[in-house]
Structure 1
Amino acid sequence: MQDNTPRNDLILFACFSIAVLAMPLWTAPFGADYPDLLQKFAIYGIFAIGFNILFGLTGYLSFGHAAFLGVGSYTAVWAFKLLTMNVLPAVLFGVIFAGIFAAAIGFLSLRRTGIYFSILTLAFAQMSYNLAYSVLTPLTNGETGLQLRGTDPRLLDSLLGVATPDGLPSPNLFGFELLGYPSFYFCAVMLIIAFYLALRITRSPFGTMLRAIKSNQNRLSYTGVNTRPYAMAAFVISGMYAGLAGSLLAVTDPLAGAERMQWTASGEVVLMTILGGAGTMLGPILGAGIIKYFENIFSAFNDATLHSIFGFLPHWLSDPLVAVLGLFVGDGWQLTLGALFMVIVIFLPGGLMEGATRLIQLTRRKRPDGGSSEDAAGSRRAFHAGE
């Protein structure tokens, strides 16, 4: 039995909100306190939360979620070009159009389950990627990508008498420019809202039905339950989350390219979810943060950085050490991520959240009073609750 009381959910949400808003402070010791990276943490956290609703709760593994990320980006940039530089319409339309596209893809893909569903989503994503480079060039601008221009109409801004700057305008929130940390905090608020909605979905009867589908869909069908509408709803909600993440990418950098729809982007969100812990609340966000940290921080390491770190060692020891570690940083950062992922999959199938739960259990068993079986059960419930 899971301990999912409203009080515990409120504590979880409050702690999560404080941690997100304080990210510039506690990420500073790790060298990750600059706005561009913090924005990626928030945006890909949203992407992973949405994917977890489909994969972690329902058990449907999609290899095509990057298509919805791309649709959200393209829609947001078109909203900037045609309507206004205010970010709210861009985000709203990005979510709506991604949801519509997800409904179309889900209607066809959910006719199959298992690996056949995964292959279908991958096929549709690749079709979308290729269309963005060829047939849909008038909408996507092909290889160049969709960009802002000084000649864009921006009808709402014109009607409201918003002054047009000499150069390219920046996204704003009712006139307040979203650059640097203000842009991060806008993304952070979106992440907090997305987390709250996912928490409510998970704890609702709808979320219980999704977990039942993952547990044994055939048994539900035998009892007369039509599972397809629930799976379809989960797929659309997940696509809308991806659309929100895509539109926020356009907010932080008003440019949309087809590379955001590549299969590698879809595979990345799968890695994020599995690495952190599929089916948990915090796991996918943790996985997204780790992968983006490796991608942006470890990839910047070089031999000079390593030599400065191990400068206290004698040369006969530091030189071979740097030579070996140099293979796992810089351009080889993916080797480190791959090794970490293998260790997680082999020893912690439940992801890093399972590791945290085991650590809590081990700590409680080593307490002077010996702990209790109720404490161990409580930590297991905490893992399922995502705490």
Structure 2
Amino acid sequence: MDATTLRNDLVYMAIFTVAVLTMPFWLDPFGANYPDLLQRFAIYGIFAIGFNILFGFTGYLSFGHAAFLGVGSYAAVWSFKLLSMNAIPAILFGTVAAGLFSVVIGYVCLRRAGIYFAILTLAFAQMSYNLAYSVLTPITNGETGLQLSLQDPRILDRVFGAPETGGLPFPVFLGYELNGYPGFYFCAVLLIVAFFVSLRISRSPFGMALRAIKSNQTRMGYTGFSTRPYTLASFVISGMYAGLAGALLAVTDPLAGAERMQWTASGEVVLMTILGGAGTLVGPIIGAGVIKYFENIFSAFHEARLHEVFAFLPDGLEDVLVTITRPFVGEGWHLTLGVIFMLIVIFLPGGLMEGVRRVRSAIGRSSSGHDPSGRSEEQAKLHPAE
């Protein structure tokens, strides 16, 4: 890696770190600065980063990544029940369990590519969901979901004399309960670490091999290059990211249910990645934030709230605008998200980050006629703007 690229990456990481840690402040004008939503921004950002390593870098579209999200959640809750309410063992347990599960699923599914791979991952995810919902009820507690109870052994806590809370305990780290803003900053730090790992993968020879596989896997095979270990490694890393996200869901809310393994959760991370920009680094995180914002903010708008928003207009015009916008908010937020997704796919096939690249290119041409990042044309092609 040359000095210019290294310097750009360090600046990029610094900007990303500051942006993540100051989210409660700059999201305040958008009404999205409350801790529960910020935690979801960070957690699903990690989920999307991991999925992007498989889909964006390698070109393999999985419709079953929610299975690893669910495995991570179940493993983390079992860690809380059996070992300790400390978040670190739960995160390690959830990430490793999802990684081991992804080795098995990836070994089978990666025997096929394209639509056949996507269907296989979807089938495994649905099998996992149905197993968690019925057959594995002693482990998953079925439709009720796996929860904490006062009778849980929590061996490490009892051995090391953890203080009794008098009720159901909450996950902790360094003595702080991980709810509210402490929970957000815990997730935010892990998001920064996950992003850094993704950045290093992207810049490494391993990342270049993944991009080459996406470009033309058949041609790489003809040269004698074995792509199977690389695709399996990409699948496992992606599954471990999903397991980490699932474990963090359990850390911020100690409950694991089979609904986290449904195909809709797998489809959601696909939308996040495409919406933000598959193959870029920060794009999937932006896509995750947009979808979670619509899910939590737009879904809260109702008719009375719309009247408050348009109260400054004359009564007749206010009623007209409320009537027009009402189907797109509240329970109709999916319609708004669908329209936005459709417009982006049509006009910005590379996602929101393609729009950012176009703006940067226009500014660069108008000012100096060069790439504003200072990269050569070859570097811009190998490492698209994140």
Whether these two folds match at TM > 0.5 is: yes
Aligned to 1:58: 58
How far off is 1:177 after superposition?
1.3
- Provide the secondary structure at the position in 2 that maps to 1:112: coil
Of stretches 299-308 and 356-365 in structure 1, the one that deviates more from structure 2 is 356-365
Kindly report the root-mean-square deviation, in angstroms, between the aligned alpha carbons of the 2 structures.
1.8
Shift of 1:386: 3.9
- Give distance in 2, aligned partners of 1:382 and 1:176: 45
Q: Distance in 2 between matches of 1:170 and 1:25?
A: 26
- Structure 2: unaligned runs, 5 residues or longer: none
Does structure 1 retain, via aligned residues, the 8 Å contact 2:360–2:372? Answer: no
Taking the TM superposition and a 5 Å limit, the aligned residue runs for 1:3-22 are: 5-22=5-22
| Greater Cα offset, 142-151 or 356-365 | 356-365
Q: Which residue of 2 aligns with 1:319?
A: 319
* Offset of residue 377 of structure 1: 8.0
8 Å CA contact 1:3–1:382 kept in 2: the answer is no
Q: Distance in 1 between matches of 2:239 and 2:182?
A: 26
Contact 2:357 2:385 in 1 (8 A): no
Q: 1:364: Cα distance to partner? A: 3.7
Q: Does 1:89 align with 2:89?
A: yes
The aligned residue for residue 111 of structure 1 is 111
Partners of 2:72 and 2:324 in 1: CA distance: 42
| Residue matched to 2:129 | 129
What is the distance in 2 between the residues matched to 1:82 and 1:303? Answer: 47
Deviation of residue 175 (structure 1)?
2.3
Report the 3-state secondary structure (helix = DSSP H, G, I; strand = E; otherwise coil) of the residue aligned with 2:135: coil
Q: 2:369 is matched with which residue: 353, 369, 372?
A: 372
State how far apart, in whole Å, the 2-side matches of 1:43 and 1:383 are: 28
CA–CA distance in 2 between the matches of 1:3 and 1:174? 38
3-state SS, counterpart of residue 50 of structure 2: helix
1:61-81 alpha-carbon deviations (Å, 9 max, x no partner): 000000000000000000000
Structure 2: distance between partners of 1:25 and 1:382: 35
Secondary structure, counterpart of 2:355 in structure 1: helix
What amino acid sits opposite 1:330 in the alignment?
A: G
Does the Cα contact within 8 Å between 1:354 and 1:383 map onto a contact in 2? no
Partner residue in 2 for 1:328: 328
* Fraction of identical pairs, as percent: 69
Instruction: Quickly say closer, same or farther: Cα 1:180–1:383, change in 2 above 3 A.
Output: farther
C-alpha distance in structure 2 between counterparts of 1:353 and 1:45, whole Å: 15
Quote the Cα distance in structure 2 between the aligned partners of 1:4 and 1:264: 42
**Aligned counterparts of 1:184 and 1:344: Cα–Cα separation in 2:** 30
Question: Are the equivalent residues in 2 in contact too, given 1:46–1:241 (CA < 8 A)?
Answer: yes
- Report the Cα distance in structure 1 between the residues aligned to 2:280 and 2:371, rounded to whole angstroms: 21
Secondary structure of the residue aligned to 1:169 is coil
Aligned to 1:32: 32
- 8 Å contact 2:364–2:370 — kept in the other structure? no
Instruction: Say whether 1:183 aligns with 2:183.
Output: yes
**Partner Cα separation in structure 2 for residue 73 and residue 166 of structure 1:** 25
Q: In structure 2, do the counterparts of structure 1 residues 281 and 136 end up closer, same or farther at CA, with 3 Å as the change threshold?
A: same
**Given residue 185 of structure 1, which amino acid in structure 2 is its aligned partner?**
Y
Q: CA deviation at 1:38?
A: 0.1
Per the alignment, residue 343 of structure 1 pairs with 343
Q: Is the 8 A contact 1:21 1:185 kept in 2?
A: yes
> What is the match of residue 162 of structure 1?
162
Is the 8 Å Cα contact of residues 64 and 266 (structure 2) preserved in structure 1? yes
CA distance in structure 1 between the aligned counterparts of 2:325 and 2:4, rounded to whole angstroms: 44
Kept in 2: contact 1:4–1:385 (CA 8 A):
no
Q: Distance in 1 between matches of 2:149 and 2:225?
A: 52
One-letter amino acid of the structure 2 residue matched with residue 113 of structure 1: A
Letter in 1 for 2:254: P
Q: CA deviation at 1:347?
A: 0.6
Where does the alignment leave 5 or more consecutive residues of structure 1 unmatched?
Answer: none
Distance 1:22 1:290 in 2: 17
Q: What corresponds to 2:282 in structure 1?
A: 282
Structure 1 residues 280, 68: closer, same or farther in 2, change over 3 A? same
Closer, same or farther in 2 for the Cα pair 1:97/1:155, shift >3 Å? same
Matches within 5 A, 1:188-199: 188-199=188-199
Superimposed CA distance per residue, residues 120-172 of structure 1 (whole angstroms, 9 cap, x where no aligned partner): 00000000000001110000000000000001000000111112221000100
Normalising by the residue count of structure 1, what TM-score does the alignment of the two structures yield? 0.96
Quote how far apart the aligned CAs of 1:365 are. 4.0
Once residues 190 and 35 of structure 2 are traced to their aligned partners in structure 1, the CA distance between those partners, rounded to angstroms, is 15
Hey, what does 1:239 align to over in structure 2? 239
Give the corresponding residue for 1:221.
221
Kept in 2: contact 1:63–1:122 (CA 8 A): yes
Superposition deviation, residue 385 in structure 1: 4.5
Separation (CA, whole Å) in 2 of partners of 1:3 and 1:41: 33
2:357 and 2:178 map into 1 onto residues whose CA distance is: 38
Q: Distance in 2 between matches of 1:279 and 1:141?
A: 38
AA partner of residue 223 (structure 1) = T
Alpha-carbon deviations, 1:207-228, whole Å to 9, x = none? 0000000000000001111100
Task: Provide the C-alpha distance between the structure 1 equivalents of 2:4 and 2:232, rounded to a whole number of angstroms.
Answer: 25
The CA distance in 2 between the partners of 1:374 and 1:333, in whole Å, is: 38
Find the aligned partners of 2:320 and 2:382 in 1 and give their Cα distance.
Answer: 41
Supply the AA of the counterpart residue of 2:99: G
